Amino acid sequence: MKSLKATARRGALISVAAASALALASCSAGQITQTSSQVAAVDGAAGSTSDNAVAVRDVTVIVTSEGETGLKFTAVNQDPSDKDHTLKSVTVGGEKVTLSGDTTFASDTSLVADVASQIENLPQGDTGNLKYVKTSLTNNGLAIGGTKDVVFTFDDGEASVTATIAEPPLKSGTEDRDVTGGEE
């Protein structure tokens, strides 16, 4: 016959093990988890004016291998009053960005901006609700992989974000990869 003390000890151990397993399994089982709202860093920064009338998305400072420097972003006019908005100016780390093109955009229209070499790769002609603007910026020591504060000034307010400094993505089909997986 076993002692009552050993049985109680065994029961307590089983209870603690079951409670631990239950607690550990439930950490990520809910809708609200620590990782559910994380976004990829490669998408660029995002922000909006205080009234949310204009949003900026995919904000990235671009430095090409040819030395071209500018700002890539998409500004979206999401004003529920159907008002046109104008991008008056943009600064990167306090330096003014040169904007080439019409920066007034209607309701439900996006203003797509990038360095000239990248804008030329985008579809031209009837683009529906898209307007293109070329950007340029003096490169005063911008290092790829770093970040800079970017301030957008619109007719109805400002939007501030911290943007990554990056090279533009490679054009599709320009890199020949070794698909054999080994030496020949």
Structure tokens at 123: 């579809």
65 domain-assigned: yes
- Average pLDDT of every residue of the chain: 85
User: Among 57-66, 118-127, 132-141, which stretch is predicted with the lowest mean pLDDT?
Assistant: 118-127
Q: According to the model, what pLDDT value does residue 29 have?
A: 56
* Domain-embedded: residue 110: yes
Q: Is the pTM of this model over 0.75?
A: no
pLDDT band at 108 (very low <50, low <70, confident <90, very high): confident
In this predicted structure, the answer to whether residue 104 has a pLDDT above a threshold of 90 is: yes
Q: What is the pLDDT of residues 7-62, one digit of tens each?
A: 778 878 888 787 777 777 665 555 565 555 555 555 688 999 999 999 999 999 99
| C-alpha closest to that of 152 among 75, 68, 51, 67 | 75
CATH number of domain containing 117: 2.60.40
Residue 160 pLDDT > 90, yes or no?
Answer: yes
Domain count along the chain: 1
Q: Give me the mean pLDDT over the 73-77 stretch.
A: 96
pLDDT score of 50: 94
In a domain, 128, yes or no: yes
- pLDDT at residue 11, rounded to an integer: 77
pLDDT at residue 13, rounded to an integer: 80
31 found inside a domain: no
**Is 144 among the domain residues?**
yes
CA distances from 173 to 115, 138, 180, 182 (A): 20, 30, 17, 21
Q: Which domain holds residue 126?
A: 42-166
Task: Give a yes or no: residue 77 inside a domain.
Answer: yes
In a domain, 21, yes or no: no
145 to 36, 51, 70, 167: CA distances (angstroms) = 25, 31, 15, 9
Within a domain: 73? yes
Choose between 100 and 16: higher pLDDT: 100
